[in-house]
Structure 1
């Protein structure tokens, strides 16, 4: 585990080019802040960065380390330091019942059946959802399924959670409820979004464009600059600026 003076999140010269298309271009990032935003338009490389940080895809060049774990090479170690919440919970859920879904990560970490059961029960109690244990996931609403995904990540006690547009498709009350849950978590959150208003009060925001860092700083500096630039693009007549 990193000492206090080492970055919790460390990307060194990371490039990623699936099918020969450059998506992330020589990105270096060191971070220890508690609330970090990654802001950019559709197609800017945000989701690819999220997957790289979670170790779901390997970089073509460079290294990604979270809490000193090489997340692409040490998948078991990665489970204990970083989790990811996708935009669509149906892209994340693989088991028919809530308790099976939540327990899967613990089993992958090598916990025995009793430890898995205890962990599942504890996280369900934490969120007041003990009655969900045997519930069929496909009968839950999208917001409820997103909460199941969040519990499935939190049960592994990660140091960092990457949220990839987690409120897409949710109505306003559900979004506000999940935002309150996330705000109360005592860990580092990396929020991937194209919506600058989601990053109000964040410690640090990274503006990504075509896989490269455009600006990196406090939300109070980066968000207004990004918003002004997007407003300028939106007011132009050149349709070549439309996101792909």
Structure 2
């Protein structure tokens, strides 16, 4: 069997929920008729709060199921072939509290490695991941003592430990100061260059979006612009200004 296609595709994808109202259940669309094919190494997704960015990202590994249409990750369906997709797609949430479940960063990463690395080797493997991100000094600190930005980097380390081919990050810079934001920018660029990881992230930080090869603007559940980051951020600014006028 030949090698699978190396692209992510959305065909006529719509997602919505039923809201309970006094008049009965009312369908509320979150994403509508999304059609896009992604094969670049780094992709930024820009949009206002509530635009549908997070829902779009969660379709990548089956955290959200489309009501209609088809999602394919390198030819794999995230629902029908969930195990294969989740083995290649790593997801980092905006709030690291959604991912960190162990008392220390070292233990959390060891937990991530439990199905991949023999128990006797997990500590060394976990330390190597923390070292790669430049946060080995946090290994045995309590996660409750860490800053929001430090927790975010630990959550990223736990995802990278399982060696994903695609890394999806939902607003990864929200909790980061300038120093850690620049550290993350360099780290993601290095992962693309050295590991061949594809990086897809949503962000409100239009400067950070500039590191991407391609950028999508999402508004009211639709992709309304798709181009270079410079052009996409210009269009997004125009969209925001027209909405506020």
Q: Is the 8 A contact 2:106 2:139 kept in 1?
A: yes
Match of 1:86 among 74, 82, 93: 93
In 2, distance between residues paired with 1:137 and 1:201?
29
> Relative to 1, partners in 2 of residues 1:92 and 1:231: Cα closer, same or farther, differing over 3 Å?
same
Alpha-carbon shift at residue 117 of structure 1 (Å): 4.0
Determine the structure 1 residue equivalent to 2:237. Answer: 227
Q: Is the 8 A contact 1:44 1:209 kept in 2?
A: yes
Q: How does 1:104-123 map to 2 (within 5 A)?
A: 104-107=111-114, 109=115, 111-114=117-120, 116-123=122-129
1:134 is aligned to 2:144? no
TM-score normalised to structure 1 length: 0.84
CA deviation vs aligned residue, 1:80-138 (integer Å, no higher than 9, x gap): 2111111121122122221232133333x565434644532331232344454333211
Match of 2:31 among 19, 24, 33: 24
> Relative to 1, partners in 2 of residues 1:201 and 1:118: Cα closer, same or farther, differing over 3 Å?
closer
SS in 2 for 1:180: helix
SS in 2 for 1:23: strand
Match of 1:173 among 156, 161, 179: 179
Determine the structure 2 residue equivalent to 1:145. Answer: 151
Q: How does 1:136-215 map to 2 (within 5 A)?
A: 136-186=142-192, 187-215=197-225
SS in 1 for 2:154: helix
Q: How does 1:66-85 map to 2 (within 5 A)?
A: 66-85=73-92
Unaligned 5+ runs, structure 1: 237-244
> Relative to 1, partners in 2 of residues 1:226 and 1:131: Cα closer, same or farther, differing over 3 Å?
closer
Determine the structure 1 residue equivalent to 2:24. Answer: none
In 1, distance between residues paired with 2:214 and 2:76?
22
Q: Is the 8 A contact 1:79 1:105 kept in 2?
A: no
Determine the structure 1 residue equivalent to 2:60. Answer: 53
Unaligned 5+ runs, structure 2: 19-26
TM-score normalised to structure 2 length: 0.84
Match of 1:62 among 43, 58, 69: 69
Alpha-carbon shift at residue 216 of structure 1 (Å): 1.2
CA RMSD in angstroms comes to 2.4
